Amino acid sequence: MSTRTPSETASDQGPAERPDAAGEGSEANGSAYDARFRVWRGDVDGGDLRDFTVRVNDGEVVLDIIHRLQATQAPDLAVRWNCKAGKCGSCSAEINGRPRLMCMTRMSVFGRDDVITVTPLRAFPVVRDLVTDVGFNYEKAREVPSFVPPEDLGPGEYRMMQEDVDRSQEFRKCIECFLCQDTCHVVRDHEENKTAFAGPRFLMRVAELDMHPLDAAAASGLDRKSTAQEEHGLGYCNITKCCSEVCPEGIHITDNALIPLKERAVDRKYDPLVWLGNKIRRRPT
């Protein structure tokens, strides 16, 4: 375990202190400055915020600064990242309390005198530093029944109109950063709800499949609308739209996925004609 104190600053470190390693900072921008960062460090047994003073260059994002911390002051600082272009959804964290992608959060949105606090996603158990155990999401993913291919169509025979795939395509823009899962108040401070609630990302997955023009779930006896309610906890959602607000892809999770799913689920549940029609159509042939 690291034995550093919370007041650790750059000056505590050895000769590795070189903010401009590899000439990176020599881009001749006069606008470089030293920012104050507070980064949560610790593991499952606990931890705390550590203070750092670190160089910021023109055009950088929070992830650049975290990388500079690794390279110069805290080589074992744990953080997930991959593409650094907002496409993979790995570098999710909470920046000044707001769930965000570190690679898409530009330093220019903060004042130079601001203290920038970076903490791990709150809704998931900490592994180490900024890395959390997001296994919850992979469990939920497995609980959503997969796409059911239509039996009468072979590969190459699928015909779908663009306007019919638009809706599901919007949901497939999801990069699985799990920020919506982190911010959703149903689970954010209510661990006990996790068993019954799939979270916005996976309710949206149900909606995506339900709106897929060729999904043959219904023909196979699976009613996605009612399972959203009965199996995946759609009823917990009270459409506060927090998920849509943090979505880095700008997907209208609440308006386009969850609310329509709720409406459809309600139709199913309470409309006696739909209920009757279902019973008749469902009869095995």
Partner 1 sequence: MSQVERQQWDVVVVGAGGAGLRAAIEAREQGARTAVICKSLFGKAHTVMAEGGIAASMGNVNSGDNWQVHFRDTLRGGKFLNQWRMAELHAREAPDRVWELETWGALFDRTKDGRISQRNFGGHEYPRLAHVGDRTGLELIRTLQQKIVALQQEDKREFGNYEARLKVFQECTVTRVLKDESASGDGRVTGAFCYERESGRFFVIEAPSVVLATGGIGKSFKVTSNSWEYTGDGHALALLAGAPLLNMEFVQFHPTGMVWPPSVKGILVTESVRGDGGVLRNSEGKRFMFDYIPDVFKEKYAESEAEGDRWYEDPDHNRRPPELLPRDEVARAINAEVKAGRGSPHGGVFLDVSTRMPAEVIRRRLPSMYHQFKELADVDITAEAMEVGPTCHYVMGGIAVESDTAAARGVPGLFAAGEVAGGMHGSNRLGGNSLSDLLVFGRRAGLYAARHAAAPDAARSVDEAQVDTAAAEALRPFSAEGPRDGTVPENPYTLHQELQQTMNDLVGIIRREGEMAEALERLADLRQRARRAGVEGHRQFNPGWHLALDLRNMLLVSECVARAALERTESRGGHTREDHPGMNRDWRRVNLLCRLAEPADDSPTAGRPDVRAEPAAGSAAPVGGLAAAEPARGRIALTRVTTDPIRPDLLALFDKEELVKYLAEEELFE
In whole angstroms, how close is the CB of 46 to partner 1 at the nearest point? 14
Amino acid at 63: L
The answer to whether residue 161 forms part of the interface with partner 1 (CB under 8 A) is yes
Stretch near partner 1 under the rule CB under 8 A, chosen from 15-23, 111-119, 229-237, 270-278:
15-23
The answer to whether residue 162 forms part of the interface with partner 1 (CB under 8 A) is yes
In whole angstroms, how close is the CB of 87 to partner 1 at the nearest point? 5
Number of residues that make up the chain: 285
Residues 176, 100, 204, 190, CA torsion sign = positive
The answer to whether residue 11 forms part of the interface with partner 1 (CB under 8 A) is no
Stretch near partner 1 under the rule CB under 8 A, chosen from 69-77, 182-190, 217-225, 270-278:
69-77
Residues 213-272 that bind partner 1 (CB under 8 A): 215, 250
Reduced 3-state DSSP string for 81-148:
CCCCCCCCCCCEEEECCEEEEHHHCEHHHCCCCCEEEEECCCCCCEEECCEECCHHHHHHHHHCCCCC
Burial, 36: exposed, middle or buried (Cβ in 10 Å; 0-12, 13-18, 19+)? Answer: middle
Binding characters for partner 1, 170-209, by CB under 8 A (x = yes)? --xxxxx--------------------------------x
Q: Please state, in angstroms and rounded to a whole number, the distance separating the CA atoms of residues 109 and 243.
A: 21
Q: Please state, in angstroms and rounded to a whole number, the distance separating the CA atoms of residues 126 and 35.
A: 26
In whole angstroms, how close is the CB of 103 to partner 1 at the nearest point? 9
In whole angstroms, how close is the CB of 266 to partner 1 at the nearest point? 26
Q: Which is nearer to partner 1, 24 or 51 (CB)?
A: 24
The answer to whether residue 112 forms part of the interface with partner 1 (CB under 8 A) is no
Alpha helices in the chain (DSSP H): 62-72, 135-143, 162-172, 179-183, 185-188, 200-211, 224-230, 242-246, 259-270, 272-282
The answer to whether residue 78 forms part of the interface with partner 1 (CB under 8 A) is yes
In whole angstroms, how close is the CB of 269 to partner 1 at the nearest point? 26
- Asked if residue 72 lies in contact with residue 79, where contact means CB atoms within 8 angstroms, the answer is no
In whole angstroms, how close is the CB of 142 to partner 1 at the nearest point? 6
49, 95, 122, 145: residue in contact with partner 1 (rule CB under 8 A): 145
104, 222, 259, 274: residue in contact with partner 1 (rule CB under 8 A): 104
